[in-house]
A and B are shown apart, each in its own frame.
Chain A
Amino acid sequence: MRRLLLLLLLLPAAQLSYGFITIRTNTGAIVHWTADPAYVINPAITNPISKACVEDPAVTIQEAFGRWLSIPDVARVATYGGSTTSIKFCGMCSGGIERVDLTPPDPDFCENNPDAGCDAENNILFSKGDYFSTMSGSILAVTVDQYEVATGVMSGSDIVFNDDVKWSDDPSGSLIAGCTTHDPYPALFAFPAVATHEIGHFFGLDHSFVGFVGNTVDWSVTGTMYPIYFGTSDWPKMITLEPDDQAGIYYQYPGLPGPAWGSIQGVVQRLSGEKMFGVHVVAVRKADKTPAADALSGPDGTYVLFGLTAGDYYAYTESPNINDRFFADYISNYYGSAEKAPFPMLYNAIQLSSFSQLSAGSTTFDQRAVLVTVAADTATPGIDFLYPAIIREHHHHDDGGCDINPHAGSRPETDLPAALVLAAVLALALRSLWKKASGRERVRPQNGS
């Protein structure tokens, strides 16, 4: 019952923010599947090294799906619909490119079918880098999600792996006979790792930054949906789904009875009562000082640190700073995936020293850390954070889209000397007008007079 209550409490809270991030429409709806999707795989690879080093792409992809689907109580499954020879994916004709890999060749294919692949078939395939961008090879893989704007209900999703890239089932020491290339990074990329990450997008999850605060990355908690390739030696960590990944997919597709997670909830606001949007709130385990969950406060100042196991945590907030400027407005339209602001830049800019310095009452961070005891299956509300009424801000642009930004032309921070000069100019102008009006304006002597 308590789990159901927790679920009911969480589900309508579309404005709340979590460590994991769901893809959202511009109206704020969560992009998700309402029916179990089926996917097909075109296993054809042309890159000779990938051919030798990826034993069976269809098996690797299905294993990657299996990692997500093995999370308990997730109320959605994706089923393998078999292999295909289709090379279609949504966006395959982007950039006015001519497809040359069609059988039979058809140079006018994209001209006649500009939206080829934007259909209900969920195709997973390899395609040449040229079709991703003007720079072939610069993009390793792409997931393209199609959805209804009003509801966020997905109608299709395609995953495309760059066929120019050298893929391997195990770049740190291939287990496959014949795969003898062990070039160091970046020659071989871990196919299972990237596939697992892309499938997170297939289910509607966006990038998550748990474990990445300030200039520190804690790989022990960083999830698969973290947007950076972990590297040659650490790629196996990408295929293990961390609590943040698990919380994300459960939030997308909650089933009962649900995991016995606890949460910390509250509001970030100023002493004046103004709710603060976009403040980074973090929970760090007291026992080992590792980050457990993070969130950004929503437009109403609320936050939820979700997916916590029972135990003691330090909760704290921090201001994102870039060049000593506070960036609260920077993410003001984060709720709108297609128009969202640059999260990573924000996170990159958070200035922290070290988790190891954290203790109850620590002033290392903007606000004193609060020690919170979290019980299993229980929400711990009322962990609020108060900021001073006046805080130094820099109203940078909002990366929300060129013509829709509600914060366009926001006032810059007050510049006192400039204000004084402006006041002096206005005073002089008023004095001049008053003189003219009263007829006391002195006439300038003319030459010769």
Chain B
Amino acid sequence: MRKHVLALLFSALAGATALATVMVPLSLDQLTGESDAVVLGHCIDKRVYKTGEMIYTEYTVRVYDVLKGSTLKEVKVVQPGGESGGKGIYVAGVARFAPAEEVMLFLGKDIGGRRDLVGWSQGKFTIYYDAKSKTKFAVRQLGGIGFMKKSSGEISSGKPEQIKLDELKSRVKKIIAEQKAKAGKK
């Protein structure tokens, strides 16, 4: 049953499309496959910086678990946009982090000590603890991305995408193993 729910969740997500920043949603398989690293951690710092007139926001995440990639203790995630020196740049669809926010991240390659999120906000799951069920859940904040049937392009549901963290981790680990096996055969 769980497998069916998960399959439904991610297949539904795979068909969603949102506007401006308009994104084509990525399946969990795609997210995992395209990631250089998949980690869990807490956001511990934020810094906004400029390169000329371009502004970026850099978040520092302290890593406590690595599902994919080499060992990492800390990772710096950079997203375009922010405010610095009296100037601001606004780009919809980029991910933002809260203080001490617990997250699972699908990260691009390390370029000069910094990484991008795969698919911007699609590459970030927020983790929260549900005291009632004593369970950790992962929720993805997609900045308005809905859920669309891939075949017809019609909206099927507007519910937030959330999943038990353990299930999400298992799923990602399974995908990683499958992708490794596939790569090994080649």
Contacts of A228 in B (CB 8 A): 16-19, 144-146, 148, 155
The chain B residue sitting closest to A115, CB to CB, is: B52
Segment at the interface with B among A88-96, A303-311, A365-373? A88-96
User: Quick one: which of A139, A215, A233 contacts B93, CB cutoff 8 A?
Assistant: A139
Contacts of B148 in A (CB 8 A): 185, 228-229, 231
Closest Cβ of chain B to A226, distance in Å, is: 8
Whether B131 contacts A415 by the Cβ 8 Å rule is yes
Q: Give residues 173-208 of A contacting B (CB, 8 Å).
A: 184-186, 189, 194, 197-198, 200-201, 206-207
User: Quick one: which of A91, A134, A348, A399 contacts B160, CB cutoff 8 A?
Assistant: A348
Distance A194 CA – B100 CA, assembled complex (angstroms): 36
Distance A209 CA – B146 CA, assembled complex (angstroms): 12
* Chain B interface bracket (under 10, 10 to 19, 20 to 34, 35 or more): 35 or more
Contacts of B6 in A (CB 8 A): none
Contacts of A402 in B (CB 8 A): 43-46, 59-60, 97-99, 101
Q: Flag A92-113 by CB within 8 Å of B: 1 or 0 each.
A: 0111100000000000000001
Q: Flag A385-414 by CB within 8 Å of B: 1 or 0 each.
A: 000000000001111111111001100100
Q: Flag B34-78 by CB within 8 Å of A: 1 or 0 each.
A: 100000000111100011111011011000000000000000001
In the complex, whether A17 has a CB less than 8 A from a CB of chain B is: no
Whether B52 contacts A114 by the Cβ 8 Å rule is yes
Q: Give residues 134-153 of B contacting A (CB, 8 Å).
A: 137, 139, 141-146, 148, 150-153
In the complex, whether B185 has a CB less than 8 A from a CB of chain A is: no
User: Quick one: which of B57, B144, B154 contacts A344, CB cutoff 8 A?
Assistant: B144
Whether A133 contacts B120 by the Cβ 8 Å rule is yes
| Known A-B contacts A197-B19, A231-B152, A232-B153; A144 and B91 likewise in contact (beta carbons under 8 Å) | yes
Contacts of A200 in B (CB 8 A): 20
Contacts of B60 in A (CB 8 A): 402
Instruction: Count residues of A near B (Cβ-Cβ below 8 Å).
Output: 89
Q: Flag B96-107 by CB within 8 Å of A: 1 or 0 each.
A: 111111000000
Max chain A CB contacts within 10 Å: which of B116, B144, B145, B154? B144
| Known A-B contacts A25-B83, A349-B160; A95 and B111 likewise in contact (beta carbons under 8 Å) | yes
Distance A95 CA – B91 CA, assembled complex (angstroms): 14
Distance A404 CA – B87 CA, assembled complex (angstroms): 18
Whether B153 contacts A400 by the Cβ 8 Å rule is no
In the complex, whether A217 has a CB less than 8 A from a CB of chain B is: yes
| Known A-B contacts A118-B53, A186-B17, A228-B19; A137 and B24 likewise in contact (beta carbons under 8 Å) | yes
| Known A-B contacts A139-B23, A184-B153, A228-B19; A115 and B53 likewise in contact (beta carbons under 8 Å) | yes
Closest Cβ of chain A to B9, distance in Å, is: 14
Closest Cβ of chain B to A262, distance in Å, is: 28
- Where the two chains meet, the residues of A that have a C-beta atom closer than 8 Å to any C-beta of B are 23, 25-26, 31, 90-91, 93-96, 113-115, 118-119, 132-135, 137-150, 155, 162, 165, 184-186, 189, 194, 197-198, 200-201, 206-207, 209, 212, 214-217, 226-229, 231-234, 322-324, 337-340, 342-345, 347-349, 396-405, 408-409, 412, 415
A142-B91, A184-B152, A397-B98 are known contacts; what are 19 more A-B pairs with Cβ within 8 Å?
A: A94-B80, A132-B21, A134-B117, A135-B34, A137-B24, A141-B19, A146-B53, A162-B22, A184-B153, A186-B15, A194-B22, A207-B144, A215-B157, A228-B148, A228-B155, A231-B154, A337-B90, A345-B139, A348-B159
19 pairs from A and B in contact (CB 8 Å cutoff): A90-B89, A91-B54, A115-B50, A118-B54, A135-B122, A140-B22, A147-B90, A149-B83, A184-B151, A184-B153, A216-B158, A228-B18, A233-B154, A234-B154, A396-B128, A399-B126, A401-B96, A402-B97, A412-B131
- Where the two chains meet, the residues of B that have a C-beta atom closer than 8 Å to any C-beta of A are 15-26, 30, 34, 43-46, 50-54, 56-57, 59-60, 78, 80-83, 86-93, 96-101, 108-109, 111-112, 116-120, 122, 126, 128, 130-132, 137, 139, 141-146, 148, 150-155, 157-160, 162
